Structure 1
Amino acid sequence: MEPLKTRKAGTGPLRIVAIRVLRFATLLIGVSVLAFVLVLNSPVDPIQAYIGADANVTDEQLARLREYWGLDESPIEQYSAWAHAMLQGDLGTSTLYKAPVAAVIGERFWASFALMGAAWVLSGVLGYLLGVLAAFHRGRLADRIITGYSYALSSTPAFWLGIIFLAVFAVQLGWFPVGLAGPAGVPADEVTLAQRLHHFVLPAATLSLIGVANVAMHTREKMTDVLRSDYVVFARARGERGISLFRNHGLRNSIVPAVTLQFAYFAELFGGSVLAETVFSYPGLGSTLTAAALGGDVPLLLGIVLISSAFVFAGNLIADLVNAAIDPRVRNRI
């Protein structure tokens, strides 16, 4: 009989990062090519979007604009020129905002980061607590309410929930503004923190409530399995109940899948932010991505696509590293 093969040395966080970086490089190439092809075949004419539908220009002026923006070259030459500039740190110039793409993204990144960060934390914490509560009261009223709430929200589009919030809390009740990140007509440097938070509540609540459902349901199932295990039955026989039982046996065994799911939620979070920012006219990357797609702004669209890909990649990588740190069995399988 042949001896069992030992696992190769070097398995650990550094190896995880190296493998993920190689995958990320190929992901960026594939995503950028796909986005470029989709925009290239879009019915939206970037030159017409740039000059406006009512502009009166001659064919010669249109040809000069196409030459200026490099649109007279072949698709391969256009993509090669963009990729070469991107590798040098130049993402190009936005045709919609007449500014460097890096500057446009940098200006709107922190608004989206604050929105998605708040929604990510709130949905993770609230979803985990509701999942634990449902598992400890499985089959009772609290469990039925949480389960029904989760099923309803898991099938609810973010834009629809945002419209409902606008109609109820902004229009009918008047508790919150209709949209934007600050009062209309007030310069950004004059908007107070209280005003920003007032405009921030509805879009953050929209994203948070949508994200709660998945975490709550997965945590409920995992915690139910833990509560039915032999070691928990033995612990209950020794008199452990409630918080003590959760702290000693439930937390460690249920937090790993919750962490994994929450970091994997980065992709859905960014997709939801696009819809929420559009509904609330929130000046972040999501609404900017929509404007770039509708306006045929290829450099800006590709720049945001790369940033969003890096955002999702970072979430998945952090999830793997956290799981490897918490559970050695996960570390050995990577």
Structure 2
Amino acid sequence: MKKKYYLKCTGKYLFRMITLLIAVSVISFVLVSLSPVDPVQQYVGAVPNVSVEQRAKIAEYWGLNDPPVERFFAWAGSVLHGDFGVSLLYRRPVLDIIVEKFGASLALMMTAWIFSGVLGFAIGCVMGLFNGRWLDKILKKVCFVMCSIPTFWIGIVFLMVFSVMLGWFPFGMSVPKGVPADEVTILQRIHHLVLPALTLSFLSFANVALHTREKLVDVLESDYVLFAKARGESKWSVLKRHGLRNILLPAVTMQFGSFSELFGGSVLAENIFSYPGLGAAVSAAGMYSDVPLLLGITLFSTLFVFVGNMLANIIYGIVDPQIREGCIK
């Protein structure tokens, strides 16, 4: 049964992934082609002595004079062969830049993801246990406020408080300024990672907490929990034996569903803290009309979010056999 489930779901996910990547490729290419920014002007930058003939040669070299459909199929054919082109901004292969930047972004997103999941789940359980009491009301108001605060504002406040006023954390970057990469210690990297990760984790921890609270309240008001309380079980025993197993799956749903939010929020967080990851790279690519890099990061981010959702569905099937049976039918 498990083997059939994994084979069936793998085929479905593979088909969905291919169709999603094709759709994202077409839409992204069309939007980039309609951009009013001149790629040649962005490529030459502030160089004053670039003649019309040189601009024409640059446009011909990058294939900008070809029809959009022809340019799209040429780009798509190169992507299928593993060639994402050369970045106009970095003058390097796009794939090399993505691999280099993804390590820093992955550390940031995974740290924020763990922060938001653990913190949100714990706060949600506390609110559910003390439903209607003063602690629940205070935490719920805090979560509602956090849901409405934009990421860039939280990042700026954190910089002002923890970097400027208290001096506990550096202003930005992923490593100390002026220190060679091979001499940077793990503690120094963590020191630079904490503040942007906390900023990014505020995107989803409140949603996880509120969602967990509602599910736990429903569980605690069920008949079997009332029966357990009548037998003399304590509040923490009820949470451990009956609550956690019933609210774990919805919490996993919210947590894995926040992958897209984390990737979108990392663009703001990395720019605020000058963190050299994919978020900062895609922002620079959009500003300078670096089409190959922008399209490459778009495809990579789509694949990243899809894999996160796929892992969530696989975990659902492991935790809940009914979902597994529904996938087989």
TM-score by length of 1: 0.94
Asked if 1 retains the 8 angstrom alpha-carbon contact of 2:172 and 2:274, the reply is yes
2:155 to 152, 162, 170: 162
Query: In structure 2, how many angstroms separate the alpha carbons of the residues matched to 1:130 and 1:21?
Result: 36
- 1:169-212 Cα offsets, whole Å, 9 max, x none, are 11222221111112223332232222212211110010112221
Would the alpha carbon gap of residues 9 and 116 (structure 1) be closer, same or farther in structure 2, given more than 3 Å must change? closer
Check if 1:205 corresponds to 2:198: yes
1:329 to 305, 308, 322: 322
Query: In structure 2, how many angstroms separate the alpha carbons of the residues matched to 1:123 and 1:13?
Result: 29
Shift of 1:262: 0.5
Query: In structure 1, how many angstroms separate the alpha carbons of the residues matched to 2:48 and 2:39?
Result: 14
Which residue of structure 1 lines up, in the alignment, with residue 311 of structure 2? 318
Which residue of structure 2 lines up, in the alignment, with residue 282 of structure 1? 275
Shift of 1:56: 2.3
Shift of 1:9: 11
Check if 1:307 corresponds to 2:320: no
Which residue of structure 1 lines up, in the alignment, with residue 90 of structure 2? 97
Query: In structure 2, how many angstroms separate the alpha carbons of the residues matched to 1:145 and 1:56?
Result: 63
Check if 1:80 corresponds to 2:78: no
SS of the residue corresponding to residue 93 of structure 1 reads coil
Would the alpha carbon gap of residues 9 and 269 (structure 1) be closer, same or farther in structure 2, given more than 3 Å must change? closer
Asked if 2 retains the 8 angstrom alpha-carbon contact of 1:150 and 1:216, the reply is yes
Shift of 1:50: 1.4
Would the alpha carbon gap of residues 9 and 181 (structure 1) be closer, same or farther in structure 2, given more than 3 Å must change? closer
Check if 1:116 corresponds to 2:109: yes
- Consecutive unaligned residues in structure 2, runs of 5 or more: none
Check if 1:230 corresponds to 2:215: no
Shift of 1:10: 8.3
Query: In structure 2, how many angstroms separate the alpha carbons of the residues matched to 1:197 and 1:20?
Result: 35
Asked if 2 retains the 8 angstrom alpha-carbon contact of 1:158 and 1:275, the reply is yes
- Consecutive unaligned residues in structure 1, runs of 5 or more: 1-7
Asked if 2 retains the 8 angstrom alpha-carbon contact of 1:17 and 1:317, the reply is no
Asked if 2 retains the 8 angstrom alpha-carbon contact of 1:11 and 1:332, the reply is no
Query: In structure 2, how many angstroms separate the alpha carbons of the residues matched to 1:188 and 1:33?
Result: 38
Asked if 1 retains the 8 angstrom alpha-carbon contact of 2:316 and 2:323, the reply is yes
Shift of 1:11: 6.1
2:38 to 33, 45, 68: 45
2:6 to 8, 13, 36: 13
Query: In structure 1, how many angstroms separate the alpha carbons of the residues matched to 2:96 and 2:48?
Result: 27
Asked if 2 retains the 8 angstrom alpha-carbon contact of 1:39 and 1:293, the reply is no
Asked if 1 retains the 8 angstrom alpha-carbon contact of 2:203 and 2:261, the reply is no
Asked if 1 retains the 8 angstrom alpha-carbon contact of 2:39 and 2:290, the reply is yes
Query: In structure 2, how many angstroms separate the alpha carbons of the residues matched to 1:332 and 1:281?
Result: 47
Which residue of structure 2 lines up, in the alignment, with residue 193 of structure 1? 186
Asked if 1 retains the 8 angstrom alpha-carbon contact of 2:151 and 2:202, the reply is no
Amino acid at match of 1:102: L
Query: In structure 2, how many angstroms separate the alpha carbons of the residues matched to 1:219 and 1:89?
Result: 42
TM-score by length of 2: 0.96
Asked if 2 retains the 8 angstrom alpha-carbon contact of 1:222 and 1:254, the reply is yes
Q: Which moved more, 1:302-311 or 1:33-42?
A: 33-42
Q: Percent identity, aligned pairs only?
A: 54
2:122 to 129, 138, 155: 129
2:239 to 230, 243, 246: 246
Asked if 2 retains the 8 angstrom alpha-carbon contact of 1:11 and 1:331, the reply is no
Q: Which moved more, 1:150-159 or 1:111-120?
A: 150-159
Would the alpha carbon gap of residues 217 and 284 (structure 1) be closer, same or farther in structure 2, given more than 3 Å must change? same
1:271 to 245, 264, 269: 264
Query: In structure 1, how many angstroms separate the alpha carbons of the residues matched to 2:151 and 2:253?
Result: 22
Which residue of structure 2 lines up, in the alignment, with residue 138 of structure 1? 131
Amino acid at match of 2:272: V
